[in-house]
Structure formats: structure tokens, C-alpha cells
Amino acid sequence: MSTKLATEKVSITSLEAVIVDLPTIREHKLAMTTMQRQTLVILRLRCEDGIEGLGEATTIGGLAYGDQSPETIKLALDHYIAPLVTGMDARSVNAVMAHVGKSVQGNALAKSALETALLDAQGKRLGVPVHALLGGAVRNALPVLWTLASGDSARDIAEAKEMLEVRRHNVFKLKIGKRAPLEDVAHVAAIKAALGDRAQLTVDINQAWSEAIATRHIPDLVDAGVMLIEQPIIRSNRRGMARLTQRFEVPMMADEGVQNAVDAFDYAADGACSVIALKIAKSGGPLATMRTATVAHAAGIGCYGGTLLEGTIGSIASAHVFAACENLEWGTELFGPLLVKDDIVVERATVNNFELAVPNLPGLGVSIDEDKLAFYRRDR
């Protein structure tokens, strides 16, 4: 490693994007798809001082969830972003991201991987954790919920009871919207009745209901014991979200509807949600997510630490961001590493006593397991 002066430029020398396919522990059923594996795009950003920064971009079900797939993320990083940033100063994260933003429209997931890798490298360079680069951690551990998404009530109840027994999770999200509304309500009610006061329940409808169906069945979900309802209607119907938010006392959380700070401002102005799900992937990186959180805080809107089911690299990057957010009253769902059977890191993220510890090592505090990366990479 070189001994450059702190004032000297440290050039980015290369970017390498690797697609990795990891099997899940069980089927994970959402309104738009059923997952049996999770695909990660791992970014390795190398700098002339010998430091490597790690990033991750992950989506759900290829193109089932959004308009970016693992293959298009890799394409954007390899063919468009890498030529733009090679030779730029790796320490100037804002300058690099602004330069990319002028030439690459959209592609928030690829940008998130890049910004994460830049911050990881800079943290390693300075000997500080990423959250220190974001203003410092407000908390050193994060509550993490678990999503029950097998689609089978008995199996979900057994799974939840096991999580409670080992003190891993005591808040559960139910993925609904694929079946008829009354079937989904019955599914939710059965699980809540079985768990009682030992656990809290939220539901994620993943935009599957119309406003009329949501108006009809949200009271049923409340009666079943649901404490939070996530994105019940399509993301483009912000006025409909406002009507639901103002009609019902149960908090409405915007997820797909709020991609970035601009969307957060619009939702706040229209009173279209009580809570915003923060995700580094959809905002375009850790710094971009902090900007979204600042808008939410200014508007008095609660924040929740969301996930696109990232592996350990992406989940720990999110954890650094959520640790630095002043307002995170609704906890997090950084369970992605627990949903896959294996990962490509030396030490996987774990949850104990209902919390995920935030690393205090330089950078993200995560290292690649080269053997596992070689085994799981798609192009092996």
C-alpha cells in the first residue's frame, strides 16, 4: 500500500461487478413473484493506494419487482459507469457521484453499489466505520423484524414461534396481496391469534390492492391486530395514499412510492404517508438515503429501515446508514442475510436478542470470502 499524502489524489483504477446466485432457505412469496434464490451484484472498486471498496446491488425476482435486473445493473456498472469514474479521485465521493449522475439517468441500484464501495474504501483509508462518514452513529444496534412469506399459515406460525423462542425476532411482516383479500385477512388473523401479545405484526401489500379494496379491507386488518400497513396501492397513486392515510388511524408506510428525497418531499406535502421505508438501493446510495431521511424528519414522518433482501454486504451498508439516522422509530427489516443459505463474506450478519449489531471496524467492516465468491458467481 502506498504512503501518499492525505492531500494527494487517490485514483480509482478499476471496477469489477460480479453476479452471484444464492439459494434461499425456503420459498419467499410476494405479491409479484415467488423467490427460490436471491441474486446479488457484488461490486469491487479498486484504488491506486491498494484499497478495495465493496458494494452490493440487489433486486427482487429479476424484473418482477422493479425496472432494474441484476443483468442490467452489471451492464450499467461495466459499460457505462466504470469508464466514467476510472481515474477520478476515490476520496471525493460527492464529485464522483455527481459526475455519474450527469451521464447515467436512473439506475439507482448500480449507483448505490458505487457509492457504498466509495464509502467503504474511504472508511478503510481513514480507519473509521462508514457511519462515521455519515455524521456518526446514533445507535449501535438495530431492531430487525422477520418476514413470514411461505404463504402457509401453519408454517408461518411455527416459523414465528421458533424466532420468538430463540430471541431472534419479535416483530413480523406478512407479505400479502397475491390471494383474495378475505383469504389474506384470514391468514393474518390466524397468525396474530396464534402469537398473541408476544409479537407485533405488519403487512406489506406490495401495491397489489386498488384504493377501493384497501378502503374495504384495511379495517379488517386492523381488527386482526396489524400495527402498520405498507404500500397497499400502486406507487403512482399518491393522492390515493393520502386519502387512506387521512382516513385511517393505522399508520400507512410508503415504500415503492418514495424512491428518493424528491418523492419524500411530495409525499410529505400531500400528507400521503405516516412512515417512509428507507432503502439505500432505491435512493441511490447511503448519502442519498440520508437526504431522504432528512426530508422525512423535517416533515415529521417516521422512518423505517427497509431492504431489497440484500446479502451481508448490502445489509451492513444499510445498517451503517440506519445507525446514523436521527429518526428511526419503526426499526428495520435487515434480515436478507438470514434468508439465504450461504453468503460470499467471511463473517455473515447475524441477529441476536432481536437486534443486529452495527460494525465499528473501518469501512463497512465486511470482507469477501474468495472461495465462496468463486463458487457462487454466475460466470464460474
Residue 116: pLDDT band with limits 50, 70, 90: very high
Active-site amino acid positions? 175, 333
Q: What is the rounded distance in angstroms from the CA atom of residue 352 to the CA atom of residue 344?
A: 21
Mean pLDDT within 126-137: 98
3-state percent breakdown (helix, strand, coil) of the chain, nearest 5: 40, 20, 35
Residues 371 and 185 sit within 8 Å (Cβ to Cβ)? no
Q: What is the rounded distance in angstroms from the CA atom of residue 353 to the CA atom of residue 56?
A: 27
CATH 3.20.20.120 in the chain: give the residue spans. Answer: 133-357
Q: pLDDT (tens digit, 9 = 90+) per residue, 78-94?
A: 999 999 999 999 999 99
Tell me how crowded residue 291 is: count the other CB atoms within 10 A of its CB: 16
**CATH number of the domain at 12-127+370-376, please?**
3.30.390.10
Q: pLDDT (tens digit, 9 = 90+) per residue, 187-220?
A: 999 999 999 999 999 999 999 999 999 999 999 9
Q: What does the block give as the cell for 223?
A: 381488527
Residue 108: pLDDT band with limits 50, 70, 90: very high
User: According to the model, what pLDDT value does residue 100 have?
Assistant: 98
For the CA atoms of 246, 260, 58, 44, the dihedral, rounded to the nearest 10 degrees, stands at -160
User: According to the model, what pLDDT value does residue 252 have?
Assistant: 98
The answer on pLDDT for 318 being more than 80 is yes
β-pairing, 146-148 vs 141-143, is unpaired
Mean pLDDT within 322-326: 97
Alpha helices in the chain (DSSP H): 70-75, 82-85, 93-103, 108-126, 130-133, 153-165, 181-195, 211-224, 238-247, 261-270, 280-283, 286-299, 312-324, 336-339, 370-376
Q: pLDDT (tens digit, 9 = 90+) per residue, 227-266?
A: 999 999 999 999 999 999 999 999 999 999 999 999 999 9
Question: SS3 of 29, please?
Answer: strand
pTM: predicted TM-score of the whole model, two decimal places? 0.94
Rg (CA), the chain: 20
User: According to the model, what pLDDT value does residue 3 have?
Assistant: 52
Residue 367: pLDDT band with limits 50, 70, 90: very high
User: According to the model, what pLDDT value does residue 128 have?
Assistant: 98
Q: What is the rounded distance in angstroms from the CA atom of residue 196 to the CA atom of residue 100?
A: 50
Residues 253 and 304 sit within 8 Å (Cβ to Cβ)? yes
With pLDDT > 90 as the criterion, what percentage of the chain qualifies? 91
Grid look-up 471496524 returns 361
The answer on pLDDT for 2 being more than 80 is no
- CATH for 133-357, options being 3.40.50.10300, 3.50.50.60, 3.30.70.3170, 3.20.20.120: 3.20.20.120
Q: What is the rounded distance in angstroms from the CA atom of residue 98 to the CA atom of residue 269?
A: 27
State the DSSP code for 365: -
Q: pLDDT (tens digit, 9 = 90+) per residue, 38-71?
A: 999 999 999 999 999 999 999 887 787 778 999 9
Residue 1: pLDDT band with limits 50, 70, 90: very low
β-pairing, 141-143 vs 355-357, is antiparallel
Residue 371: pLDDT band with limits 50, 70, 90: very high
CATH 3.30.390.10 in the chain: give the residue spans. Answer: 12-127+370-376
Residue 6: pLDDT band with limits 50, 70, 90: low
State the DSSP code for 343: -
Q: pLDDT (tens digit, 9 = 90+) per residue, 336-347?
A: 999 999 999 999
- Mean pLDDT, all residues of the chain: 95
State the DSSP code for 310: -
